[in-house]
Chains A and B, each alone.
Chain A
Amino acid sequence: MNLLQLSTITLALVIVPATAQTVQFDIQSIKHNDGKLYIQLFKGEHDYNSGKPYNATIVKAKEGTISVTFNDIEAGDYAIRYFHDENDNGSMDTNLFGLPVEGYGFSNNAIVRFGPPSYEEMAFTVAQQPVKTYSTINY
């Protein structure tokens, strides 16, 4: 399967718990079709702060809205962060002061206030029902 040609991709965990759910994440207001979106799902604040994703995916950019689904997600608290690799160089470009110059965002449409939102602001719970969350991308 060619990952880069897909607008939606699902990566399953190696161990799938019996109570697993799906998490649908919509990214809105993508500016153009160039490049890719790099999306990370974290389980719990500790892993988020440590930069250890529970799951991750790459999708080709598409102007407008892209919907990504993570399947077989066990119960717990999660957060998502992503960026739009507009020039397709495999990293999030920043200016000389370290500010991102490519689009990015967080689950719960968490607001950026002169710095990244807190984990609490982007966190959501996976339990008995499928989860839907979204983000309007910040360029």
Chain B
Amino acid sequence: MERREALKNIFSLSIAAAVAPLPSFANLSLVEGGVLKQNAQLFQKALLTNPNLQGFVGLKHNISEQVLKVEGAIPADFKGSFYRNGPAIHQRQGQRYTHLFEGDGMVQQFSFTEQGVTHRAKFINTAKFEKEQQAGKFLFSGPDSKLKNSRSVTGPDSINTANTNVLPVNGELWALWEAGSATAIDPKTLNTKGVIDLGKNTHYGSSLKGLAFSAHPKVDPDGTIWNFGSTVTGDIVLYHLNKLGATQKVNILKTNYRGGMLHDFLVTHKHLLIILPSIIKDKTKDTFFGAISFDEQVPLRVLVVDKATLTLKREYNLDPGFAFHFGNAWEDQQGNIRFDASLYPNLDNLHYMSEVMKGKVSHPEQAKTTFFTLYKNGRTTKETIPGVSEFPRIYNHLTGLKNNTLVTLSSVESDVWSDAVRVINTHTGKQDRFTYGKEYLVEEHVVVDSSQKEGSGYLVGTALHVPSKRTCVNIFKANRVSDGPVCRAWLPDAIPLGFHGNFMPT
């Protein structure tokens, strides 16, 4: 009898303690999968009259290696592979996801050699993708899209789509989502190697398994990798990895953040900047993205975290705002911190990406590049650069250090997606811009430079040409962007619009 009681007590401590606090994306009520069917019908109808929507159609199969038609000349010193990631399955069996962020990730590889440009693409074989591909239908409810008979979603990795970014780490590619584990990919075959357990072979053991690992790690000039992961509870996990991707230190930061979603962050040479936007997640709603709204009463909070200890050092409260992405941060000898954000006045753009999934093109307010200075005495200033701004990038060797150059996409003629790329001088505000025009849906452009000198090297990025239904990859001289691409290579078809990527030189 004593043993039985002891046994019961062990159970109570274990399951009750472990299962009860399962973090949830939402308190779910079951929603008929009919919403997803309706979404598919609305999108199909809208696609007939709006060719811009082709970027959101998606693909069904991998793309084998294909040689691309090249215009212009590939620069002699431009050799390597440009990898991009993005959601590429939005619909199965007449059911269409309700948010752009929910689709399964696909890695695109553009390889540049003396022989020319080749392309191939492969879906990331996540546990979710593998099961749904085999079944030929969606099996799991997503953050926003709810299936009536969803299979168990025991944690974020159950529905990890690995669809947001791809980062070279120690000879592998890490396909990144933001709510769960990173997924290792072979850069040569694009085959999926498996989910990365950051605690493996460390004293953290299984305690890091399945933790959120954001899609925007920051890599110091010496290769040290920093990242964060957030959860709806407001707890944020902070990671310090070495250049081989091995975990060095992990800490949990209690923030009381109630926004639910946190996409990007920054580093200086001494600190991490966890920047919490002015958003609130309504826990009573049964969606994730759909439950988040802008709150003008909530300041944009900047948490300054010591890199050495991964603990909070100080906090700044700024005017309310929202940003998906930041370019860079650095601090001067006095300890004043400067950083930039593609800053939105509200959250309409997040919900735009839900509207577009049903074929509805709305006109949300756009982001602008905004430079913030956080003075050591607590004073803060901000300065906004004219023009629409998204997908900011910098020269990699200046991550966390003073940068004079910021690359962003912009929108000049189009109100659907970005249609231009520009280089901003961060001191003068002067812009060097190339406008593809409203016939193009332009994606992130990244800096490719081996000289470690701002102004040298190239930009590379993709764009979907709407009238011809083809995607092209473009190379610009970084210091002459407005001259247009020096080289452009065309795919025979359009590929789905994606999010982020990186260049791996050979």
Interface presence of B76 (CB below 8 A): no
Cβ contact within 8 Å between A96 and B252:
yes
Q: Which of B1-27 contact A (CB under 8 A)?
A: 1, 4, 7-8, 10-27
Q: A56-B4, A96-B208, A97-B233 are in contact. Are A83 and B153 (CB under 8 A)?
A: no
Cβ contact within 8 Å between B23 and A40:
no
Binary per-residue interface labels of chain B (19-44) against chain A in the complex, 1 for a CB within 8 Å, 0 otherwise: 11111111110000000000000000
Cβ contact within 8 Å between A97 and B13:
no
Instruction: Give chain B residues whose Cβ lies under 8 Å from the Cβ of A6.
Output: none
* Cα-based distance from A112 to B28 in the complex (angstroms): 11
Interface presence of B247 (CB below 8 A): no
Instruction: Give chain A residues whose Cβ lies under 8 Å from the Cβ of B25.
Output: 114
Please classify how large the interface on chain B is, using the bins under 10, 10 to 19, 20 to 34, 35 or more.
35 or more
Instruction: Give chain A residues whose Cβ lies under 8 Å from the Cβ of B22.
Output: 98-100, 112, 114-116
Interface presence of B155 (CB below 8 A): yes
Interface presence of B235 (CB below 8 A): yes
Instruction: Give chain A residues whose Cβ lies under 8 Å from the Cβ of B235.
Output: 97
Interface presence of B141 (CB below 8 A): yes
Nearest CB in chain B to that of A136: its residue: B152
Q: A53-B8, A97-B233, A114-B28 are in contact. Are A40 and B15 (CB under 8 A)?
A: yes
Cβ contact within 8 Å between B155 and A99:
yes
Instruction: Give chain B residues whose Cβ lies under 8 Å from the Cβ of A139.
Output: 154
Instruction: Give chain A residues whose Cβ lies under 8 Å from the Cβ of B4.
Output: 11, 56
Cβ contact within 8 Å between A14 and B1:
yes
Contact partner, A111, options B12, B15, B152, B231, Cβ 8 Å:
B152
Q: A51-B12, A56-B8 are in contact. Are A99 and B1 (CB under 8 A)?
A: no
* Cα-based distance from A92 to B154 in the complex (angstroms): 14
Cβ contact within 8 Å between B152 and A91:
no
Interface presence of A128 (CB below 8 A): no
B176 to chain A, nearest CB (A): 18
Instruction: Give chain B residues whose Cβ lies under 8 Å from the Cβ of A91.
Output: 10, 13-14, 18
B214 to chain A, nearest CB (A): 14
Q: A53-B8, A95-B207, A97-B233 are in contact. Are A113 and B28 (CB under 8 A)?
A: yes
Interface presence of A32 (CB below 8 A): no
Chain A residues bordering chain B, tally (CB within 8 A) = 37
* Cα-based distance from A98 to B21 in the complex (angstroms): 6
Nearest CB in chain B to that of A86: its residue: B206
Instruction: Give chain A residues whose Cβ lies under 8 Å from the Cβ of B153.
Output: 112-114
Interface presence of A93 (CB below 8 A): yes
Binary per-residue interface labels of chain B (70-109) against chain A in the complex, 1 for a CB within 8 Å, 0 otherwise: 0000000000000000000000000000000000000000
Interface presence of B210 (CB below 8 A): yes
Binary per-residue interface labels of chain A (101-117) against chain B in the complex, 1 for a CB within 8 Å, 0 otherwise: 11010000001111110
* Cα-based distance from A58 to B22 in the complex (angstroms): 24
A82 to chain B, nearest CB (A): 8
Cβ contact within 8 Å between B18 and A98:
yes
* Cα-based distance from A104 to B11 in the complex (angstroms): 12
Cβ contact within 8 Å between B14 and A116:
no
Instruction: Give chain B residues whose Cβ lies under 8 Å from the Cβ of A81.
Output: 15, 19
Interface presence of A94 (CB below 8 A): yes
* Cα-based distance from A53 to B235 in the complex (angstroms): 32
In the complex, besides A96-B207, A100-B154, A101-B210, 9 extra interface pairs with C-beta distance below 8 angstroms are A52-B8, A56-B8, A97-B23, A97-B235, A104-B18, A112-B22, A114-B22, A115-B22, A138-B152
**Interface set of B (CB-CB < 8 Å, partner A):** 1, 4, 7-8, 10-28, 141, 150-155, 205-212, 231, 233, 235, 237, 250, 252
Q: List 30 A-B contacts (CB under 8 A).
A: A38-B14, A40-B8, A51-B12, A53-B8, A56-B8, A83-B14, A85-B14, A91-B13, A92-B15, A92-B17, A92-B19, A94-B18, A94-B207, A95-B207, A95-B211, A96-B208, A97-B211, A97-B235, A97-B237, A99-B154, A99-B155, A101-B209, A101-B210, A111-B151, A111-B152, A112-B152, A113-B153, A114-B22, A114-B25, A115-B23
